[in-house]
Amino acid sequence: MGANIIDGKAFATNVRRQIANQVQRLCDDHGITPGLAVILVGEDPASEVYVAAKHKQTVEVGMASFEHKLPADTSQEDLFALIDQLNSDPAVHGILCQFPVPDHLSERNVVARIDPAKDVDGLSVVNAGLLASGETGLVSCTPLGCLMLLRDQIGNMSGKEAVVIGRSNLFGKPMAQLLLQEDCTVTIAHSRTADLSAVARRADILVAAVGRAEMVKGNWIKPGATVIDVGITRIPHPEKPGKSRLLGDVAYHEALDVAAAVTPVPGGVGPMTIACLLANTLTACQRANGLEEIKDLTA
Amino acid sequence: MNAPLEDPRLLRGKPVKDRILGEVADYVRSVPHIGKLVSVSIGDVPEVAIYIRNQARAAEAVGLPFDQQFWDGETAQEECKLRIQEMNDDPDVLGVILQRPVPSHINVRSLQSAIHPLKDIEGMSPASIGNIVYNDVAMAPCTAASAVELIRETGLNMEGLEVVMVGHSEIVGKPAAMMLMAEGATVTVCHHMTRSVAMHSRRADVVVVAVGKAHLIGADMIKPGAAVIDIGINQVRHEDGTVGIVGDVDTEAIKEIAGWVSPVPGGVGPVTVAILMRNAIKAHQRQQEAGWLNI
């Protein structure tokens, strides 16, 4: 049990504290309050929980939170009208539409409608392109959170072997881009990769994001590696009938014996996501007002 | 003396270029009307003359009108942007090519971003690059797309293939890596900070090199039977004092080990301009789908 356990919850609390200080300063020095608008279409119970958590943390760091709950049968036209209005509202610096949206709406079109400078989820085509072009944009929250944890854990990542398992638009691809920006040698492995365990074993930095419980075994991990586990799978609890528990993509207890540092599930990467959403909102607000942004809170 | 037999290990660009230009010409003939390509050069840049000439020839070969514009080197950024926006709104402009380099007072990325994604046939704007990242590779940056096209020419199935990309530049390395990943390859991106490029390149089924260092990749860095795609263009002075162009790969040595190697010159280069023309007809299709063209 040698590995350092990366406490994402404590780290996220620190990030939020740092954001709260910045928000206070923006208010004192410039009379500006960063604002985050969250749109929820329909009544998905899981989405309601996420939106409530986002609202609570937004208010806690001193930002303005604008919630827009729309009925499930909202037309694309009406949704776009709301997005247009938020795009031009100077009190709103970040806009996110909680996914999934009902079937008659296209997530891609919804994201494309949001002003890229306010796309705090970093999912628009323009922001993906800016990241891939090494330019300033807004970076998807979960990869940004992983980057912060890695910087804290490792410091300079230049020349390290990094392997990202999973090539999703939401996570794998932006994560790979961020690691390239840090001058890691990056391999993106996925379901079609011939010998996944051998590829994983090369990694000084191993990031798993496929959503298959405990797929990454202890013998997939290079001794001394830093392991970031982004997967979350809910399984029935083995001892408590009717209860469930969460598992990551990494066989956690095996990893503890081999790796230098591991993120647990839950309590590792998860708490970083909302913290990074707030970080992006702060950054978007600072950019919108021509103020200096905080390096620690951006890519 | 007989002409030397063509070496099957050399992945030559010319046949690929001719095939693509043929397909593009068929398409252009099949539509009643098609707009023009506009090439924009800002200031006096003699080194791009050869590229413009090649583009003009290819456009002529496929039947696309090609408008060469030379803007004064003093033209302000804002004025350039306005002119590009006018082209965005002009239904008779099919695509815009912004020749580089540009004068130092011009922010080239900002101008590229001004080109509408449906007219960005070079695939350089952030929105175009973002489309590549999201697996919509229709209008990809020409050099990266040419490398993928040459790999396809080998007949190798890209799904699950081990590909090592050497070089992580924004215009070639990164988009090529994304495109190869979209094809199902397992891609590793190496660069100047990589501890051992050889360790990676030696296990690769395909090695793509875009670094700009003459003969960086030698035969000892390649797995027998691998495909090697050379994107580098380096000017070197030979021992006899003559000046020539070589790639990033030691083609002669690697030929004995690799299954395929693309030569420089004559490999990726010729394909690039054909891809530009193919992007132009993709632009036409997309503009039609978007309802821009009332034909």
Tens-level pLDDT at each residue, chain B (295 residues) = 455 667 889 999 999 999 999 999 999 999 999 999 999 999 988 888 999 999 999 999 999 999 999 999 999 999 999 999 999 999 999 999 999 999 999 999 999 999 999 999 999 999 999 999 999 998 999 999 999 999 999 999 999 999 999 999 998 999 999 999 999 999 999 999 999 999 999 999 999 999 999 999 999 999 999 999 999 999 999 889 999 999 999 999 999 999 999 999 999 999 999 999 999 999 999 999 999 987 5
Does residue B122 sit within a domain?
A: no
Instruction: Kindly identify which residue of chain A lies nearest to residue B128, measuring between CA atoms.
Output: A129
Smallest CA–CA separation between A183 and chain B, in Å? 6
Verify whether the Cβ–Cβ distance B190 to A185 is below 8 Å. yes
Per the structure, the count of domains in chain B is 2
CATH number at residue B156: 3.40.50.720
d(CA A34, CA A282): 6
Q: Whose CA is closest to A190, among B181, B204, B163?
A: B181
H or E stretch at A196: helix A196-201
Sequence length of chain B is 295
Q: Active-site residue A222, yes or no?
A: no
Residue A135 touches partner B, C-beta closer than 8 Å:
yes
By the 10 Å C-beta count (0-12 exposed, 13-18 middle, 19+ buried), B271 is classed as: buried
In Å, how far are A125, A138, A277, B214 from B51, measured between CA atoms?
30, 35, 45, 21
Q: Is the CB of residue A169 less than 8 Å away from at least one CB of chain B?
A: yes
Instruction: Give the tens place of pLDDT for each residue, A74-118.
Output: 999 999 999 999 999 999 999 999 999 999 999 999 999 999 999
B71 and B148 assigned to the same domain:
no
Please tell me which of the candidates A130, A133, A188 has its beta carbon nearest to residue B181: A188
User: What value does the mean pLDDT of chain A take?
Assistant: 96
Which one of the listed residues A22, A57, A119, A121 is annotated catalytic?
Answer: A121
Query: What is the per-residue pLDDT for A2?
Result: 86
Where do the domains of chain A lie, and which CATH numbers do they carry? 30-115 (3.40.50.10860), 141-271 (3.40.50.720)
Q: Are residues B154 and B77 in the same domain?
A: no
ipTM, two decimals, is 0.94
**Local confidence band at A138 (pLDDT 50, 70, 90 cut-offs):** very high
Burial (0-12, 13-18, 19+ Cβ within 10 Å), B135: middle
0.80 exceeded by pTM: yes
| B44 and B98 share one domain | yes
Residue with tokens 């090519």: B97
* pLDDT confidence tier of residue A1, bands split at 50, 70 and 90: low
Contact B189 A186 (CB under 8 A): yes
Residues B193, B87 within the same domain = no
In the predicted model, what is the mean pLDDT of residues A192-198? 94
Residue B24 lies in a domain: no
Does residue A232 contact residue A196 with C-beta atoms inside 8 Å? no
Chains A and B form CB pairs within 8 A to the count of 97
From the CA of A206, how many Å to the nearest CA of chain B? 14
Containing structural domain, residue B63:
31-117
Whether B250 and B162 map to the same domain: the answer is: yes
Q: Do A132 and B170 touch (CB under 8 A)?
A: yes
Measured CA to CA in angstroms, residue A23 lies from A19, A277, A278 at distances of 6, 14, 10
Looking at the fold, whether B99 and B155 belong to one and the same domain comes out as no
| Domain co-membership, B261 together with B168 | yes
Q: Are B193 and A158 in contact (CB < 8 Å)?
A: yes
From the list B131, B188, B191, the residue facing A125 with the nearest CB is B131
Residues B197 and B236 in one domain: yes
CB of A88 within 8 Å of a chain B CB? The answer is no
In a domain, B5, yes or no: no
User: Which chain B residue has its CA at the smallest distance from A158's CA?
Assistant: B193
- Calculate how close chain B gets to A243, using CA atoms only, in Å: 37
Are B186 and B86 within one domain?
Answer: no
Question: Measured between CA atoms, how close is B144 to chain A, in angstroms?
Answer: 14
Contacts of A192 in chain B (CB under 8 A): 159-160, 184-186
Can you list the positions of beta strands (E) in chain A? 4-5, 35-41, 64-70, 94-97, 161-165, 185-189, 205-208, 226-229, 233-236, 244-247, 261-262
Beta strand pairing status for B66-71 and B162-166? unpaired
pLDDT in tens, A18-59: 999 999 999 999 999 999 999 999 999 999 999 999 999 999
CATH of the domain at B85: 3.40.50.10860
B135, part of any domain: no
Question: Looking at A57, A98, A177, A286, which residue is catalytic?
Answer: A98
Do residues B146 and B89 both lie within one domain? no
- Which among B194, B213, B164 is positioned nearest to A183, based on CA atoms? B194
- Is B259 in contact with B247 (CB distance < 8 Å)? no
**Structure confidence at residue A274 as a pLDDT band (50, 70, 90):** very high
Asked whether residue B125 is assigned to any structural domain, the reply reads: no
Q: Which residue of A has its CA nearest to B191?
A: A185
User: What residues contact A159, with CB distance under 8 A and at least 6 apart?
Assistant: A183, A184, A185, B193, B194, B195
Closest-CA residue of chain A to B123: A129
Chain B residues with at least one Cβ partner in A under 8 Å: 109, 125-135, 159-160, 162, 168, 170, 174-175, 177-178, 181, 184-191, 193-195, 200
Q: Residue B23 falls within a domain, yes or no?
A: no
B85, B119 Cβ separation under 8 angstroms: no
**Residue A71 has what pLDDT?**
97
Amino acid A76: pLDDT: 96
Please indicate whether, in this complex, the C-beta atoms of A129 and B109 are within 8 angstroms of each other.
no
Same domain, yes or no, for B113 and B163?
Answer: no
The answer, for A134 touching chain B at a CB cutoff of 8 Å, is yes
Name the percent of chain A lying above pLDDT 90: 96
Task: Please give the structure tokens belonging to residue A143.
Answer: 């990869």
Kindly list the strands in the beta sheet with B36-42, ordered across the sheet, starting from the edge strand earlier in the chain.
Answer: B66-71, B36-42, B93-98
- A121 classed as catalytic: yes
Number of Cβ within a 10 Å radius of residue A182: 20
B286 lies in some domain: no
Burial of A19 (0-12, 13-18, 19+ CB in 10 A): buried
Q: Is A54 a catalytic residue?
A: yes
Are residues B262 and B158 part of one domain?
yes
Q: Which residues pair with A37 in a beta bridge?
A: A66, A95
The structure tokens listed for B53 are: 């000439």
Confirm whether B6 is domain-assigned. Answer: no
Mutate to test the interface with B, among A136, A186, A202, A205 (most CBs of B within 10 A): A186
